[in-house]
Amino acid sequence: MNPTIPMSGFDWVGPDGTVDEGALSETRQAIELLLTDRAVLHVGRISALPTEASKRQELSNAIVRTVFDRLPARRSVPEEALNAALAMFVEDVALVRRDAVDAGVLSRSPDGAAYRLASE
């Protein structure tokens, strides 16, 4: 399923007042998909992060928190595992990691080999 919602997808009522149930159903399915964890498999990774630092950091923090919500419960995650998980969402994993560390969302082990959410 392609989660693209064409602008015409919002015009469910015809000139005679009838509802185009097929278009309404397609749009509903696309919206439901975009609200699931599977959305990343359909819409692709974020290739360009915002250039404004505060907006980029906000997005980076949200990505990191999403990744940690989906990883098996553990206190610490090896850098390789974190990179693989981040790569499902974004192309520049190093920048996202760095933003999250700078914001205090992630903490890094002294040797830099593992990360954990700072709130843990």
* Tens-binned pLDDT, residue by residue, of the chain (120 aa): 445 555 555 566 777 878 888 877 877 777 776 666 666 556 667 788 888 988 999 989 988 988 888 877 667 899 999 999 899 888 999 999 999 999 999 999 999 899 998 865
pLDDT at 44: 67
Q: Which residue has the tokens 């950091």?
A: 57
Question: And the tokens for 1?
Answer: 């399923």
pTM for this predicted structure = 0.64
| Helix, strand, coil distribution of the chain in percent, nearest 5 | 50, 10, 40
